[in-house]
A = this chain, B = another copy of it.
Amino acid sequence: MTVQSRRERIHEIATNEGEVSFDDLAAEFGVSLMTVRRDVEYLERKGVMRKVLGGAIAIKGTSVEPSFATRSADHSRSKELIAQATVELLEARETVLIDSGSTALAVARQIRGKDLKLTVLTPSLLVALELVDEPDTTVIVTGGVVRPGELSLIGGQPEAVFSQYNCDTYVMGVAGLDADRGATDYHLLEGSVKKAAIECSERVICVADSEKMGKVRLVTVTALKDISIIVTDSPVDDPTVQAAQAQGVQVVTVGSDVAPNPPMEGK
């Protein structure tokens, strides 16, 4: 039995029984009191349980709502794969700037439950909502006018906010990515926010599904060479990908050929 599965089981028991004692759990799993205690502590930080004297109880109502952010957006498989790969590039305790847009939102979703203890800055209300309840995670939103469709924030003083926090990584979404024209976007003010984000970040990870490759949109955000890493599901022989690599950009490809993902340890 792995650590992970034991913790899941503890949560399950607590949910069913309502309450569990540390003694019982220790006996049940054949581990020490200290171990189950630490397990419960972990689950408590995840927000699903709560310690009481001598044991723990399950927090009700947690598992029902996947947050309504999750409802609206699309769940494309490729975005999910891109998001998974992107999260693996993050380190614990980083300060991460997460963009608006569906792909960046997918990244936020993957961050959930990973216990990365991040500080997250975002101009997206959906990203913020997705991570609000994450334990040990601080969520900071930039101020500004809410753009109805996207629920992204434009205007305000993004530069001021971003620079205040020494951002390590910027997870950037784009509307188009082209060999010559670089990263581009539809909306003028969105573009300004992205530019400010790039300015303030050590590392720029661009998440872009194959849909975006070779497309040029209204506003130029940045040149390819200013991107640190591109995560995409495009094939490695895509001309835009090739161009990016030629300019020294690291490219991570996911999907089709590479997918040896054991998401849960099957023991």
CB within 8 Å of B: which residues of A? Answer: 47, 50-53, 57, 59-62, 64-69, 125, 128-129, 132-133, 138-146, 148, 151, 153, 155-157, 160-161
Contacts and interface: CB of A to CB of B under 8 A. Distances in A.
A95 to B, nearest CB: 13
So how many copies of this chain end up in the complex? 2
Given A53-B52, A68-B65, A144 B143 contact: yes
A128 B156 contact: no
Given A53-B51, A62-B66, A64-B59, A132 B161 contact: no
A62 B65 CA distance: 7
A104 to B, nearest CB: 17
B151 A146 contact: no
A114 to B, nearest CB: 17
28 contacts: A47-B66, A50-B50, A50-B52, A51-B52, A52-B52, A60-B65, A61-B69, A66-B132, A67-B68, A67-B129, A128-B146, A129-B151, A132-B148, A133-B148, A139-B145, A139-B146, A140-B143, A140-B145, A140-B146, A140-B155, A141-B153, A143-B144, A143-B153, A143-B156, A143-B157, A143-B161, A156-B161, A157-B157
